[in-house]
Amino acid sequence: MEMFGFLSFMLLVLHTSAYTPVPGLVKEIIHVEQKKSWYDATAYCLSNSGKPFMVLDKNVAKNFSSSANQLSWVGLFRNYAIWYWVDKTLSTYFNWFGKCASLNRVGFWHTKTCDDKLNYLCKRVSGDWVLVKESKTWQEAKQHCETDHAGLAIISNEGDNSIISALVETDFAWIGLARVQQNSPLKETWRWVNNEPVTYSRWFSALFCAAIDWRGFWHDRVCFEEHPFICFRHVDLILEFKLVSENKAWNEAETHCKLLNMNLVIVKTEEELTALVVYIKSIHDSFMDDLYFWMGLYNNPWYWSSSSIRTQFWKSMQPDNVDSKNKIIVPVEHACGALKDGELLDETCIDPLPFFCTATVRSMILVSEPKSWMEALKHCRDKNVNLASLSSAMEQYVAEQKVERVQTSYVWIGLNFLAGSWIWVYGDDIQYVNWVNGENLQCPVTRRCGALTVANGKWEARSCEERMEFLCFQT
């Protein structure tokens, strides 16, 4: 009975009473050193009551990155691109350069004008493919393949794409894919020569702003390239254009047009396109195939996970669809955002990197006054809330961040061995564990109090009389 009474007394002393204050809740940014793909990192954050980190404030990113300056995933990913005009309207009319598709030697698909003359790939009646080393237009190639073989090559999966692209000897070769008109005169889609829809694709296209050439074709370009540009405005229902010959990046061109009380040129109909082409030909004295003029069309395919917020703070010349190892990111939808030194870069989603999570956890404070475990408990209850519990992976990471600059080897936390088992003195259930040996310790004899190991974050049983700093919950 005396032992039972003593244990009951100790339980009463150690456990939080009904009148103990409740810890405050704080949103913490947590850097997880384990290297995972973007997909696994996202799943890890969500499965541990957190979320992938969204960098919505550049100053926060700059300040926090000093403690984690290695390339690390954040919750940013590339999704399907939707094109907008600078007047914020959705684009439904397009005149992209190229109506026919070609394949290069590494398996990427490129749009070309159908009158270009290229080698071409036919499908044999036997079922395999052959490269015809004759330069023909797409229509001529189609006719030749249908006469002598089973038709221009159709690619329906990645395996076929790899086999067929290995046959290509020049820069590009025609395949059996072309743009065709939809029911609406303003819409086009890609179809194979047998009229099947495209179910597999590997387009070499991942850029973000649109430019127009002197013939009126549109090109998908990286926004930080520098080109001349065309401003416009409506004056009494008449289109007024102004070609600016100075080379600028797209956003600089947009700003320049606004200073002229104009906008980067918007083209929403065939008639407007014709008027613009006539203007370009009348004002510009020479034309080359690589001469482009910015227009007011852009896309932003980057999204924060679980958010409609589009704010992004890219490093200069980013995103460029090239990862930190200088490799092109393919396919383009496998690009995700990573943070380094407070700036965003695009990286291949499957690469293993450390990552950031955000989580709402109970507020903790490190008390830098070495005390025994019981003295630490009294201090926390008198001045704060209680010795801290680490009842989840997110609280564990926060605790590790709090103690990373502590000079001693251990820090007290609210673990105590009582009545044959370990308890959190705040009253939390022990479901998440992080013991040094990977298991729940039993019968520690003289080591009956739990401490956090500063070097590796593991929990270890220590003598309660040792004097060390400690973590308290705080309101």
pLDDT tens for residues 138-186? Answer: 999 999 999 999 999 999 888 888 899 999 988 899 999 988 765 544 4
User: In this structure, how many other beta carbons lie within 10 angstroms of the beta carbon of residue 314?
Assistant: 17
Last residue of a domain, one of 136, 157, 192: 192
Overall average pLDDT of the 253-271 stretch: 93
pLDDT higher at 328 or 359: 359
33 occurs within a structural domain: yes
User: Looking at residue 56, what is its pLDDT?
Assistant: 77
Reference 352, options 41, 30, 31, 32; nearest CA is 41
Q: Is 73 helix (H, G, I), strand (E, B) or coil?
A: strand
Instruction: Show the tokens assigned to 41.
Output: 């990192």
Q: How far apart are CA 319 and CA 57, in angstroms?
A: 18
In whole angstroms, how large is the CA radius of gyration of the chain? 32
Domain boundaries, position 113:
100-192
Distance CA 140, CA 155 (A): 19
Residue 469 burial (10 A CB sphere; 0-12, 13-18, 19+):
buried
Domain closes at, from 317, 338, 359: 359
Residue that finishes a domain, picked among 342, 359, 376: 359
Give the CATH number of the domain where residue 368 resides: 3.10.100.10
Position 50 pLDDT exceeds 70:
yes
- How big is the chain, counted in residues? 475
Burial class of residue 67 in the structure, from the number of CB atoms within 10 Å of its CB (0-12 exposed, 13-18 middle, 19+ buried): exposed
Q: Which residue has the tokens 């040094």?
A: 436
Task: Give the span between the Cα atoms of 49 and 375, in whole angstroms.
Answer: 32
Say yes or no: 391 and 421 in one domain: yes
Domain for residue 85, yes or no? no
158 in the same domain as 132? yes
Per the prediction, the chain carries an average pLDDT of 84
Structurally, the chain folds into a number of domains equal to: 4
Indicate whether 371 pLDDT > 60: yes
Which residues are paired to 32 by β-bridges?
Answer: 355
Residue with tokens 């520690």: 444
CB 165 within 8 A of CB 107: yes
Highest mean pLDDT among 6-10, 191-195, 244-248, 405-409: 244-248
Residue 241 confidence (pLDDT) above 90: yes
- Report which residue type is found at 459: W
Q: Calculate mean pLDDT across residues 332-359.
A: 88
pLDDT the model gives residue 438: 67
Question: Whole-model pTM?
Answer: 0.65
pLDDT (average), residues 308-320: 77
Higher pLDDT, 252 or 305: 252
The residue-averaged pLDDT of 319-341 equals: 82
320 falls within a domain: yes
Task: Determine the straight-line distance between the first and last CA of the chain, rounded to whole angstroms.
Answer: 38
